[in-house]
């Protein structure tokens, strides 16, 4: 059965670097994730140099190309019954249309979610990346993605066949919870979960609590 593999999470959480190492080895070795941010920047630069001196027009052309390219690759993968890997953000319900499309086509849906402790860390990571020539993101979009991703994940996680929630706030990433078909299969102790996990992922948090405390022990146990 083919699989859809999604890498998502906060801006600056390491989707393009850390995220790929949580993919199955055969997927990591044979499939390059579709990185919309990277491809957009490359296309915008190309268009700006060769087509138009207007940065705004270059962005419009690059975005139109990106949307068409993504649709073509999605359609191609489904038509060939092949695996597909991409990274992006899911702050709105419409962003989940692609996973639903693959699900309807008989795919298993796997998501790697990389979380940061708060939006300020996300903003700092993005700023450091931009200074090195990487993709910049305005603060309002960072906030939107930080909270929107979490809220939408809490609402839609049962669509996923597999979900890995990884904290990348520190140098060494930490797996917080792993779910299979909406059920927790592994998790850290509840007291080690960050505030964003409990506040923004309440449905998943409750499942983790039950998993770690099947007899109704207190959170401190």
Query: What are the distances in angstroms from CA 40 to CA 1, 37, 45, 83, 89?
Result: 31, 5, 8, 22, 15
Structural domains counted in the chain: 2
- Shared domain check, 39 and 146: no
Residue 190 has pLDDT above 60, yes or no: yes
Confidence of residue 221 (pLDDT cuts 50, 70, 90): very low
Given this model, what pLDDT does residue 163 score?
Answer: 98
Question: How confident is the model over 192-203, as a mean pLDDT?
Answer: 93
Answer whether residue 145 is part of any domain: yes
Question: How confident is the model over 17-27, as a mean pLDDT?
Answer: 95
Contacts of 203 (CB under 8 A, 6+ apart): 154, 155, 157
Report the run of H or E that residue 6 belongs to, with start and end. Answer: strand 3-9
- Shared domain check, 149 and 78: no
- Shared domain check, 77 and 88: no
Among 51, 82, 113, residue at a domain's last position: 82
- Shared domain check, 191 and 101: yes
Please give the residue range of the domain that contains residue 36: 32-82
What tens digit of pLDDT does each residue of 28-64 get? 999 999 998 889 888 988 887 777 788 888 889 999 9
Residue 193 DSSP label: S
Confidence of residue 203 (pLDDT cuts 50, 70, 90): very high
What tens digit of pLDDT does each residue of 84-136 get? 999 999 999 999 999 999 999 999 999 999 999 999 999 999 998 888 887 78
Report the run of H or E that residue 99 belongs to, with start and end. Answer: helix 97-104
């Amino acid at each position: 059965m083919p699989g859809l593999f999604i890498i998502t999470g906060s801006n600056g959480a390491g989707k393009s670097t850390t995220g790929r190492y949580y993919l199955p080895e055969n997927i990591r070795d044979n499939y390059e994730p579709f990185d919309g941010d990277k491809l957009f920047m490359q296309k915008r630069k190309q268009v700006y140099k060769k087509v138009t001196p207007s940065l705004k027009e270059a962005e419009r052309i690059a975005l139109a190309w990106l949307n068409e390219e993504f649709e073509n690759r999605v359609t191609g993968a489904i038509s060939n019954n092949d695996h597909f890997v991409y990274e992006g953000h899911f702050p709105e319900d419409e962003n989940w249309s692609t996973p639903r499309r693959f699900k309807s086509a008989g795919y298993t849906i796997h998501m790697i979610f990389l979380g940061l402790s708060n939006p300020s860390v996300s903003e700092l990571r993005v700023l450091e990346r931009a200074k090195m020539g990487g993709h910049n993101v305005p603060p309002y979009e960072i906030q939107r993605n930080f909270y929107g991703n979490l809220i939408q994940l809490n609402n839609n996680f049962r669509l996923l066949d597999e979900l890995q929630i990884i904290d990348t706030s520190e140098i060494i990433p930490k797996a917080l919870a792993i779910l299979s078909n909406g059920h927790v299969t592994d998790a850290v102790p509840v007291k080690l979960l960050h505030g964003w996990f409990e506040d923004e992922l309440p449905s998943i948090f409750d499942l983790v609590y039950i998993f770690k405390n099947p007899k109704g022990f207190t959170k401190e146990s």
